[in-house]
Structure 1
Amino acid sequence: MLYAQTTPADKRRLFRERLSTGELLRFPGAFNPLSARLIERKSFDGVYISGAVLSADLGLPDIGLTTLTEVAGRAQQIARMTELPAIVDADTGFGEPMNVARTIQTLEDAGLAGAHIEDQINPKRCGHLDGKAVVDESTAIKRIRAAADARRDANFLIMARTDIRATADGPAGLALATDRAKALVDAGADAIFPEAMRTLEEFAAMRAAVDVPLLANMTEFGKSELFTAQQLADVGMNIVIWPVSMLRIAMGATGRALDTLNEEGHLTGKLDEMQHRADLYDLLDYEAYNHFDTSVFNFNVER
């Protein structure tokens, strides 16, 4: 009933324990609090909160327009609805090192299990767009050091994302990415998010370069091939995210339903594609509210 029973501190501790096993943890992207609860119900390992999704939820492109207040507020709403750990996309930390420090403490207070800070210039852009630019190594290191120094819970995961792979083609881009990853680990990053890796061999090269957990981003229509969870596990990845997939599927279904309304004037033929009211009430745990206070809920839902 209401929010998760597991405290943020326990979520972080348990997440770190799972991460230390070396297994691949699956983190689908939640586009709202209810979808986070469904991700938990379907037995995934965690919830990812994408900056691109948060931007899209506001009707904005993913080009650094969202604020710390907006991201932390929505991330808190999502994280508190699930017993699973939630990782949030914190872009470039919403400013320079002091802003990064404030970002980390704000996200800790919001109940997140971790966050990633990237090395793009401000304002950033979606990681799979062309024309990205990254900061110099010194600036990237300062961001991660500020993040690591600011956290108060040692189990809060500081992940460094590097977008430098996309700034050069072929082996040169991969070499830049592995060198940057090593420097970010030395600066205090607990994990690395190498953005826009193109092949399994590139993921394997990153695995060989650093001895910290690695995240693979399986976003559709991007630079990376869409590898299976098993393929990624086989090359040593530790977390895989599908950041925008659930939003894309939901919006695609919504668009088709609206087309049907325009064409037919009703949605009778779409009933099999809808979440049944009974399933929604079960996911929302109406019954627990009934036990708590029968004046809130005192009826049964017929299937």
Structure 2
Amino acid sequence: MLYSTVPAHEKRAAFRARLATGELLRLPGAFNPLSARLIERKGFEGVYISGAVLSADLGLPDIGLTTLTEVAGRSAQIARMTDLPALVDADTGFGEPMNVARTVQTLEDAGVAGLHIEDQVNPKRCGHLDGKQVVDENTALKRIRAAADARRDANLLIMARTDVRAIDGLEAAIDRAKALVDAGADAIFPEALADLSEFEAVRRAIDVPILANMTEFGKSELFTTDQLRDVGVNIVIWPVSLLRLAMGAAERGLDQLLAEGTLEPKLGEMQHRADLYDLIDYEGYNTFDTSVYNFDIAR
């Protein structure tokens, strides 16, 4: 009932421990708190909070228009709804190194288990669009040093994302990744790699966990979890997938309404009311206070 009973510091410690095993952790993107609960119920190892999804949810493009307040608010809503660790996209840290430090502490207070800071020029753009620009190495390293120094819980995962691959090539991206690790990054997110051999090259070059972004319609192929596991990837995210599935279903439902004036043919595609109530745990609320929640869930 209500929120997760697992404290944030325990989620962070558990996340670190699982990463240390070397296994591949699967983090689908939660587009709202309820979807985070569904991700947990289906047996995944964590949830991802995508900046692109948060922007799209607000009807905005992913070009750095969202604020720290908006990201932290949605992160708190999602993180508190699941026992799983949450990894959040913190874009460029919302400013200069001092802003990055504040971002880290604000997101730490929101209950996330980790966050990633990227090396794009601010305002950033989607990592799988052309025309990206990255900051110089010194600026990128200052962001990561500020992030690592600002955290209060040593288990809060500070991940560095680098977008250098699409601009200067793989070797430059590997050099940037090495420098980011030396600056204090606990993990590396090499964005928009072209193929499995590039993931293998990054894996050989650094000794911290690496993340693969399996976003649809992007620069990278959509590799399977087995393929990614075999080349040594430690975390895989599907950042926008659930939102895309949901919006696709919503569009088809609206077309059905326009065409026939009824959604009866779509009932088999919908989450049943009983399943929704079970996911929300209506029964737990009923048990907590039967004087208020005193209904039966129809099957």
TM over 0.5: yes
Deviations 1:230-285 (A, max 9, x none): 10000000000000000000000000000000000000000000000000000000
Q: Point out where structure 1 has 5 or more consecutive residues left out of the alignment.
A: none
Two-structure CA RMSD over aligned residues (Å): 0.5
Q: 2:277 pairs with 278, 281, 293, which one?
A: 281
Report deviation, 1:297: 1.7
**Which residue type is aligned with residue 279 of structure 2?**
L
Q: Which residue of 2 aligns with 1:36?
A: 36
Q: Which residue of 2 aligns with 1:103?
A: 103
Deviations 1:30-78 (A, max 9, x none): 0000000000000000000000000001000000000000000011001
Q: SS of the residue aligned with 2:116?
A: strand
Asked if 1:175 corresponds to 2:175, the answer is no
Asked if 1:189 corresponds to 2:185, the answer is yes
Distance 2:285 2:51 in 1: 33
Q: Give 4+ residue runs of structure 1 displaced > 2 Å after superposition.
A: none
Report deviation, 1:295: 2.3
Q: Which residue of 1 aligns with 2:5?
A: 5
* Percent of aligned positions that are identical: 79
Distance 2:185 2:75 in 1: 21
Q: Which residue of 2 aligns with 1:83?
A: 83
Q: Which residue of 2 aligns with 1:231?
A: 227
If the length of structure 1 is used for normalisation, what is the TM-score?
A: 0.98
Q: SS of the residue aligned with 1:88?
A: strand
Asked if 1:297 corresponds to 2:269, the answer is no
Q: Point out where structure 2 has 5 or more consecutive residues left out of the alignment.
A: none
**Which residue type is aligned with residue 111 of structure 1?**
G
Distance 1:129 1:232 in 2: 23
Q: Which residue of 1 aligns with 2:140?
A: 140
Distance 2:221 2:119 in 1: 22
Q: SS of the residue aligned with 2:65?
A: coil
Q: Which residue of 1 aligns with 2:266?
A: 270
**Which residue type is aligned with residue 3 of structure 1?**
Y
Distance 2:292 2:158 in 1: 41
Asked if 1:55 corresponds to 2:55, the answer is yes
Distance 2:291 2:127 in 1: 49
